[in-house]
Amino acid sequence: MATSTKAVWLLPTNIENLQMMLAQGLITDASGFVGSYYKDVLNECLGYISLFKNEVPGAALSLAKSEDPNLISCIIKVNLKDIILGDCIHTRCDIEDSFNADDLSPKASNSVPIPSLQGKKTTELDYESILIQAPLPLSCIEEVIYSSKADLDEFKNSSENLGNVSIKILKCKVDKKEFKTTVSSSDLFHNSFANIEHNPVEYSKTYSFGGLVSLSLYFSKNGEESARFFKSISAFTVDESYPLEYEWIYEYFFSNENDKFQKWNAILDVLNNNKKRNDIEYKNSIIEILNSSPKTQSIADFLTDYHRSKIEKSDTQIIEEFIDDYKKEPNKFKIQLFLFMLFYKDSVEKLIKYTHESFREEDYALLGMLFGMNSSFIGLPKWLIEYEGMHLYISTLMANYAHKQSNTGIQFKEPSNPLLLTDMLSPKKIEFIAWFGKNFDTNDCFETIIPNKDYQSVKGKKIYDGIIVPEYRILKGKFLNTMSATVIDDKSYSEICKKFRGK
Amino acid sequence: MSKRIFDLPGIDELNKDQKAVLRLKESGQHLVIGGPGTGKSVVALLRARKFHQKNNYLFLTFNHVLNSSTKQICGIDLKSDTAQSWFYTLQFKLAPGNDFDLKKMPHKVDSNGREIQHSPDYDRVIERFDSYVDQNSSHLPSTDTHFIIDEGQDLPVGFYESLQSLGYENFFIVADQNQQITEENSSRQELTDVLALENDEVVELNENYRNSSAIAKFAQHFYTDKAAPAPNLPDRASLDTPTFYIYQMVNSCVSMIHREAMRDTSKLIGVIVATETKRDSYTKFLSKATTGDDITVSSYSNESKQSVNIDFSMGGIVVLCDKSVKGIEFDTVFIVLDDLKVMNNDTDAIKKRLYVMSSRAKEKLFLLRSAAIPNEVEELLPTDEKLMIRDNI
């Protein structure tokens, strides 16, 4: 690339690592990979993402294929414009006094504010690579470069055959030249960069948070209360009016003082740590926790017998009994119902399809949070990830959560909030509401209010002077009953958004 | 009843060995070896999906039930067939003109000189195929087909050699030597040799993909391959540790199976029995118990010669004899031990059957035995409570 042009930042990897990044929702160093990771530069400086200026060294490209020659390399062009706060380390190692003499760690003078790199020309930067503390959101991927059309096709085809790799957000191109490197150094970085200090990221909690917020966004379709939960959790806030169970989940993610719910936090630990899907292990771990205290042993016995098909009552009957119980004590912590649901419906998709006439709006919303947490972002169905704007929105939210929790000082620009159904159904959007009522069979979930004005009755018709604008109101109970039984997939959601925008 | 389809695996659900299989070159000969639940069929299906657009592949299975199940749940219009019926048709079509003798498959003969049904004499088939190639017959098929063969150990070496004699050279075979259920089969070494592979070119899948670890360990209890290392015992009893119920009344079993199906109508419940008589009776009992519910009870007999009428793309209850369940997976399996007998002191044969039956279960496994009929097969079951829980209903 011409040296007088703007500097571009490149991350060489292979398509399998790229697919994993898309599935987990974040660009991370090797330690943040959820499944199998293939060696590349993300393993060179632990905790950091290494980016090369303008050209990728041959050694970095070779490293990306070092585990298997059949791996296909690719280069991610990284855009730094969404990083609004934070520093990176430049890796120039030929400057005198760049390293501390005692431990050879890079000096603070090696730090550069990331926003200051924005728009810099190649000639203005006298270093060849930078290290940014992981993770980065997927919005930092400007485009992905492949060395041949065959490689790009293989990437597309293999992604199509994976249940959780969505490539819709990617811009891809073929450019063989990018792979013909002139930088031949065999050492990618000075030894001192291998173990530079970094603030460890709690990846498990970050991915759980991503799953939780995604499901919270999905269930916001059920009504205003669910939408309020989503808005709060995605803004990292809590409100005193919220139910105990929300507080329990919120404190787990945002507070270290969990005394109030300490007894039950072990359950959230299980949901957080169990990242293998379709795994009985979370159920086993829950039983183990419940068995460890005489007070909860009876719950463990019940769930064990239920799992082994020994309970003769029907599932609906069991849930009715829990709900009757909670009606008698409205402020009771609904842990038993939630545990039962985690045993009864063991996947996000099954919860999404489940409806119970006695469930309240908050029950769906809170269960969604627990199930989302258990599945984690990578366990979400592809159609949900492909909700308009969801992939990038949740990725940025996870990245900001990770950096906030580990105090790295890095912050990313938040993408605009996804459109929520209840916001779209504002009383003034008459045409949209009418369309929604007709197309989603929800006419009886609304009522129409005609302003109290004088009219004349002509042949049975009410004639008003001037323009009368009626108002529509959601009938909350009916709306919840209908919407909780309606699965809004990515295509329906896109259709709704499109109609709302008037396109 | 709810729809069930082949869930495409998530990238995090595939291990490095499976991913390496998916990266294998499109052309050439490949052999993938692995035990039940290691994802052999998953990688085979993913490979078929890869070739699907180009339409230059054929997915072959050993039995009709597996072919039917694979076709229904794979999510694409899979080009598949059972190996033997496809092979008989190929042989028929290649024979020139109306020469009945040539159109008829040559069969092996027993010591009395009688033809053995369904047992092609591959040496004679190869002779014929060679002559067609020499004559450059106009019937010769295009040889660019990529064969993807599931349960490849159940087909004899002659089958592969016959295809090679016609010039076919793209084979992707998945196999498990410990699941051989046919008289004529191929060992790992024979498959390696027939594909002209070096031993280190054979890909091994070792990690269990299908079953929960408790079920996988239970199945391994019946592993007859003496050369294989003994399985590690689980550290603790797990919720999905298989349960062996001794029942007083068959109704209790039927109710339990019914309950399990009602709990989640998208799940496929397999009831595996040893004989046709038991298959008939359980099909009747369960059909009666589920009348009026949204649950289908279906069954199929290998002996009926009819096409498979089970809808594997929907949840429900399927009653099958153990000989028909190879390669099929169920969410929950009930194995009815009644009528399963050790013949001629051949406990290895029963172990192999139990191995295949129990490894069909993905999530839950129950074994059922009547209290009134003691069964010597029970002695082969594990005694360790970590491997199997005993209970009464």
d(C-alpha A409, C-alpha A277), whole Å: 33
Can you tell me which residue has the tokens 């992604």?
A: A159
Chain A residue with minimum CA distance to B254: A309
Bridge partners, A99 (sequence order)? A106
d(C-alpha B360, C-alpha B328), whole Å: 6
d(C-alpha B373, C-alpha B336), whole Å: 12
pTM of the entire predicted model: 0.89
Chain A residue with minimum CA distance to B241: A308
Residue B127: the pLDDT is: 95
d(C-alpha A218, C-alpha A348), whole Å: 11
Q: Give the gap in angstroms from C-alpha A57 to the nearest C-alpha of chain B.
A: 25
Residue A262: the pLDDT is: 78
d(C-alpha B267, C-alpha B312), whole Å: 10
- Is B171 within 8 Å of B149 (Cβ atoms)? yes
Nearest to A384 by CA among A224, A212, A234: A212
**Mutate which of A19, A284, A306, A347 to test chain B, going by most B C-beta atoms within 10 A?**
A284
| Inter-helix orientation angle B83-94/B122-134, to 10° | 40
- Is A197 within 8 Å of A45 (Cβ atoms)? no
The number of beta carbons lying within 10 Å of the beta carbon of residue A478 is 14
Can you tell me which residue has the tokens 């599935």?
A: A23
Cα distances from A95 to residues A3, A90, A107, A190, in angstroms, run 21, 11, 11, 12
Q: What are B155-181's pLDDT values in tens digits?
A: 999 999 999 999 999 999 999 866 555
DSSP A135: P
Segment-wise mean pLDDT, segments of 10 residues, chain A, 503 residues: 76 97 97 93 92 91 93 96 92 63 67 89 85 96 97 94 94 94 67 77 96 96 94 90 90 79 86 72 89 92 90 89 88 90 89 91 95 94 93 97 95 91 87 92 91 88 88 90 93 93 79
Q: What are B337-380's pLDDT values in tens digits?
A: 999 998 888 888 899 899 889 989 988 999 999 999 888 899 99
Does the structure show a pLDDT above 80 at B6?
no
Tell me the average pLDDT across B108-114. 88
**Interchain contact, A379 vs B19, CB within 8 Å:** no
**Of the segments A185-194, B66-75, B82-91, B237-246, which one has the largest average pLDDT value?**
B82-91
Q: Give the gap in angstroms from C-alpha B46 to the nearest C-alpha of chain A.
A: 7
Does the structure show a pLDDT above 80 at B7?
no
Confidence band (pLDDT; 50, 70, 90) for B230? very low
Per-residue DSSP letters for B331-391? EEEEEE-TT----TT-HHHHHHHHHHHHTTEEEEEEEEEETTS--GGGGGS---TTT-EEE
Number of residues written out for chain A: 503
A-chain CB neighbours of B365 within 8 Å are none
A47 Rama class: left (phi>0) / alpha (psi -120 to 50) / beta: left
A-chain CB neighbours of B49 within 8 Å are 161
Residue B227: the pLDDT is: 47
Residue A2: the pLDDT is: 47
Q: Find the CB nearest A161 among B49, B240, B255.
A: B49
Chain A residue with minimum CA distance to B237: A284
Does the structure show a pLDDT above 80 at B247?
yes
The number of beta carbons lying within 10 Å of the beta carbon of residue B145 is 18
Which residue spans within A80-128 are E strands per DSSP? 83-85, 87-90, 111-113
Chain B residue with minimum CA distance to A161: B8
Chain A residue with minimum CA distance to B238: A284
Tell me the average pLDDT across B41-57. 89
Residue B380: the pLDDT is: 94
**Interchain contact, B11 vs A164, CB within 8 Å:** yes
A-chain CB neighbours of B50 within 8 Å are 157-158, 161
Compute the count of residue pairs across chains A and B with CB atoms less than 8 Å apart. 88
**Mutate which of B2, B6, B7, B12 to test chain A, going by most A C-beta atoms within 10 A?**
B12
A35: helix, coil or strand? coil
Question: For residues A223-262, b (16+ Cβ closer than 10 Å) or e, as one string?
Answer: bbbbbbbbbbbbeeebeeebbebbbbbbbbbeeeeeeebe
Residue A1: the pLDDT is: 47
Q: Find the CB nearest A23 among B10, B214, B362.
A: B10
By percentage, how much of chain B surpasses pLDDT 90? 47
d(C-alpha B49, C-alpha B37), whole Å: 20
Number of residues written out for chain B: 393
Tokens found for residue A95: 């400057």
Decide which of A331 and B87 is more confident.
B87
A-chain CB neighbours of B43 within 8 Å are none
According to DSSP, the β-strands at B297-300 and B316-321 are: parallel
Cα distances from A101 to residues A104, A105, A106, B183, B219, in angstroms, run 5, 8, 9, 74, 60
Distance of CA A224 to the CA centre of its chain: 21
Phi, psi of B77 (to 5 degrees): -80, 80
d(C-alpha A299, C-alpha A297), whole Å: 5
Residue A276: the pLDDT is: 61
**Interchain contact, B239 vs A287, CB within 8 Å:** yes
Residue B231: the pLDDT is: 44
d(C-alpha B29, C-alpha B386), whole Å: 42
d(C-alpha B339, C-alpha B357), whole Å: 14
Residue A95: the pLDDT is: 55
Cα distances from A243 to residues A8, A213, A328, A332, in angstroms, run 48, 17, 16, 10
Does the structure show a pLDDT above 80 at B1?
no
Query: Cα torsion at A411, A272, B210, A25 (round to 10°)?
Result: -10
Nearest to B259 by CA among A38, A231, A311: A311
In this prediction, the answer to ipTM > 0.95 reads no
Q: Find the CB nearest B10 among A157, A164, A287.
A: A164
d(C-alpha B295, C-alpha B315), whole Å: 8
Cα distances from B4 to residues A328, B17, B73, B315, in angstroms, run 39, 27, 7, 6
**Interchain contact, A283 vs B46, CB within 8 Å:** no
Nearest to A81 by CA among A415, A422, A499: A415
**Interchain contact, B366 vs A165, CB within 8 Å:** no
B196 Rama class: left (phi>0) / alpha (psi -120 to 50) / beta: left
- Is A445 within 8 Å of A437 (Cβ atoms)? yes
Tokens found for residue B200: 């280190």
DSSP A107: P
- Is A207 within 8 Å of A377 (Cβ atoms)? yes
